[in-house]
Structure 1
Amino acid sequence: MYVPRAFAVDDVPILHQQMLATPLPVLVTHASQGLIASHVPLLLNPDEGPYGTLYGHLARANPHCKALAEGVENLVIFAGEQAYISPSFYPSKAEHGKAVPTWNYLAVHAYGTAEVFDDAERLLALVSRLSNKHEADRSDPWSVSDAPADYIDSMLKAIVGFRLPITRLDGKRKLSQNRDATDQAGVRKGLLANSNPQDHALAHLMAKE
């Protein structure tokens, strides 16, 4: 990912916040059969290793399992808020017209090689933690133990887990830091005038920077 210094984020806890806020990142592997990508929910253990460790699982029938087992480097993309930035948002455009469209966005790229596993006990712990995470805000949360044990056992046989220690993190927060304060205010105003909730979220992030 191209990251100009003005947009770079090096603070690991801030990068972890973005990763935790991205429910469905993209796992990309360049294996012997070429590039392969899967959209997969992941767990992050921020205290395991210098940059944290990711855990997830894939369907056993997914060829991505074989790709992970090859021991090649993987890229996991955590995309955050994003919005189109119109040149008309910049007050400076009225003065000199020197403005072009761009895009503001947040993104984190995590790299590392993976260890795959299919031990039933380890898989059960993983899927239980994933379910608990995503059910936590529900008034009547579902848990793995709600399903019949023999059914869960059969489901576990159909998946493969993986552990991915992160060896490198790239973070980017492109929030008009390269514009002056007047243009930044114009961007926030322009985004808040739109109806898209993502535009509003990005405007509020800009105000906090």
Structure 2
Amino acid sequence: MYVPPAFRVEDLGALHETMRAVRLANLVTATPDGLIATPLPLFLSPEEGPFGTLYGHLARANPQWTLAAAGEALALFTGPDAYVTPSWYPSKQEHGKVVPTWNYVAVHAYGPAEFFDDADRLRDVVGRLTDLHERSRSEPWAVADAPDSFVAAQLRGIIGLRLPITRLEGKRKTSQNRTPADQAGVAAGLSASDRAADRALAALMGAQRDGA
């Protein structure tokens, strides 16, 4: 990923925060049959390894796990993104030398993809993913709520993924290369948008400005 210095994110905590906020990542591997990508919900185990370890699962019928990966696998985490119109820049009125752009947040996690079908490990991964996404509900569903025989049959249809992260790239493009006035104009424009992702970026810009 091309990351100019102004947009680079190197703080491990900030990278992990972005990864946790993304509910659906994309797993990409290069195989003898070409590139393969699968959208996957993943969870991060931050204490495993210097950059953490990712876990998830994919369908047993998915050929991605059966094809030997050439080199590293790549997990793509894409945060909020938004179109930025030059009309939001006060500098447009001053000199007119402005163009449209796109603001966004992204983290790329690299590492070897390890696939497994051990039933106990699979149940643990499924349980942890379920708890992660159910915990905000007033009456969260748990894997234990389903009959054991049914769960066992479902586990036979999936393959587990473990991806120990060997390197991380983070990019947060939120108009840092513009003047404070232009940044304020972009934040105001995004805040007034009907799109949730636009408003999320506006909030992120506000947190950066406040030093949060």
Q: TM-score range by the shorter chain?
A: over 0.9
Which letter does structure 1 place at the counterpart of 2:112? T
**Corresponding residue for 1:37?**
37
* Structure 1 unaligned residues grouped into runs of 5+: none
Moved over 6 A (4+): none
**Identity %, equivalent residues:** 58
1:79 to 1:70, Cα distance in 2 relative to 1, 3 A: closer
SS, match of residue 66 in structure 2: helix
Number of equivalences: 208
**Corresponding residue for 2:52?**
52
TM-score normalised to the size of structure 1? 0.97
- How far off is 1:201 after superposition? 1.3
Preserved CA contact (<8 Å) 1:53 1:163: yes
TM-score normalised to the size of structure 2? 0.95
Preserved CA contact (<8 Å) 1:84 1:104: yes
1:28 matched to 2:28? The reply is yes
Q: C-alpha offsets along residues 70-101 of structure 1, whole Å, 9 cap, x if unaligned? A: 46311111000111000001000111110100
- How far off is 1:64 after superposition? 1.1
Q: C-alpha offsets along residues 2-26 of structure 1, whole Å, 9 cap, x if unaligned? A: 1000000000110000000011001
**Corresponding residue for 1:188?**
187
C-alpha distance in 2 between matches for 1:156 and 1:71: 27
C-alpha distance in 2 between matches for 1:93 and 1:140: 51
C-alpha distance in 2 between matches for 1:195 and 1:188: 14
Which letter does structure 1 place at the counterpart of 2:151? I
**Corresponding residue for 1:144?**
143
Preserved CA contact (<8 Å) 2:54 2:162: yes
C-alpha distance in 1 between matches for 2:191 and 2:43: 33
Preserved CA contact (<8 Å) 1:108 1:169: yes
* Structure 2 unaligned residues grouped into runs of 5+: none
RMSD of aligned residue pairs (Cα, Å): 1.0
